[in-house]
């Protein structure tokens, strides 16, 4: 048994009954259940439709996401999330680089690294090197003035924790940012890289070992083992190539507004919804959300 979920951006609720019912009828699905009128609906299916990606592509054009997944076990006990361009709307290293006067150059490297065109560790070292000499105090300024939360993040974390879940923020970015973001959003723990600082000045180096793709997989495995669950009982979310390992290992790996190369390797793709999409995918209705 499978569940088909259709959803859209809660800020622009364009999902209508005709779209949902037409697709349900075409695929011979069961009764549709509205999780949030205008925003999210789901219906059961006996088999995976052969034309699902053609339909997915058509729905993208009207601002609607479509996800089809196994019905069993979709309510998860662990959320493991990337930070940059996932739980927040920026790439922290790009914002620091902008303060250092090398923003455009570093942003170009970041985009290529996140799309899998560059080795993550080498690209990180190169970018951090360009931050050499930046005052440590700039980090707090960037967090205060430049960083904005991705919509739905607080609700996602709060709702999963209220239902017995655990939330971990695992980033290829920096602990100076993850500690602050984890505290604001209510994550139980956070892991990231450490910028090396001497006498209040960034040295242009990052502590080793570098947390990249393999370390995110390791984090998922370690946290799941500690909780006494399997990775199948986790939902992971990210947007970059260094997230692909954990997205593939988790029971539900969600590519959220992800780079093209990342979307191509993920079955669960959210391009229009916000972070509350991860709740709809688990079958939570809007009235069950914790604000």
Alpha carbon 53 to chain centroid distance? 21
Active site residue 98: no
Alpha carbon 15 to chain centroid distance? 22
Q: Choose, from 65, 84, 239, 274, the residue flagged as catalytic.
A: 84
Active site residue 31: no
User: Which of 78, 252, 226, 277 lies closest to 161, judged by CA?
Assistant: 78
Q: Which helix (H) or strand (E) holds 175?
A: helix 175-185
Helices (H), 30-152: 52-60, 92-99, 103-114, 120-129, 137-145
Distance in angstroms (rounded) separating the CA atoms of residues 280 and 235:
12
E-only strand ranges, the chain: 2-7, 33-36, 40-45, 65-70, 78-81, 166-174, 189-193, 195-198, 201-206, 234-238, 252-256, 268-270
- What radius of gyration, in Å, describes the C-alpha atoms of the chain? 19
Distance in angstroms (rounded) separating the CA atoms of residues 37 and 195:
45
Q: Choose, from 82, 239, 243, 274, the residue flagged as catalytic.
A: 82
Q: Using an 8 Å Cβ cutoff, are 4 and 45 in contact?
A: yes
Q: Using an 8 Å Cβ cutoff, are 269 and 258 in contact?
A: yes
Q: Which helix (H) or strand (E) holds 20?
A: helix 17-27
Q: How many CB atoms lie within 10 A of CB 269?
A: 19
Token readout for 257 is 């507004």
Q: Which residues belong to the active site?
A: 82, 84
């Amino acid at each position: 048994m499978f569940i088909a979920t259709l959803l859209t951006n809660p800020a622009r609720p364009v999902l209508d009954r005709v779209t949902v019912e037409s697709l349900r009828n075409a695929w011979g699905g069961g009764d549709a259940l509205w999780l949030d009128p205008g925003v999210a609906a789901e219906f059961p299916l006996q088999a995976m439709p052969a034309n699902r990606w053609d339909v997915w592509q058509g729905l993208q054009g009207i601002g609607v996401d479509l996800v089809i997944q196994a019905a069993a076990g979709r309510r998860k006990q662990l959320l493991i999330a990337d930070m940059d361009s996932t739980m927040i709307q920026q790439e922290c290293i790009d914002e620091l680089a902008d303060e250092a006067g090398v923003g455009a150059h570093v942003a170009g490297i970041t985009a290529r690294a996140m799309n899998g065109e560059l080795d993550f560790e080498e690209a990180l070292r190169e970018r951090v090197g360009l931050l050499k000499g930046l005052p440590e105090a700039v980090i707090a300024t960037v967090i205060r003035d430049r960083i904005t939360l991705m919509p739905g993040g607080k609700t996602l974390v709060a709702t999963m924790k209220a239902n017995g879940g655990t939330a971990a923020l695992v980033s290829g970015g920096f602990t100076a940012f993850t500690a602050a973001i984890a505290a604001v959003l209510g994550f139980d723990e956070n892991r990231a890289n450490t910028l090396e600082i001497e006498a209040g000045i960034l040295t242009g180096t990052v502590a080793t070992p570098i947390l990249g793709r393999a370390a995110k997989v390791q984090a998922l495995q370690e946290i799941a083992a500690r909780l006494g669950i399997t990775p199948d009982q986790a939902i992971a979310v990210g947007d970059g190539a260094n997230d692909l390992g954990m997205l593939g290992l988790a029971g539900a790996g969600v590519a959220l507004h992800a780079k093209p190369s990342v979307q191509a390797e993920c079955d669960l793709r959210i391009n229009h919804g916000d972070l509350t999409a991860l709740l709809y995918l688990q079958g939570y209705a809007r009235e069950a959300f914790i604000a």
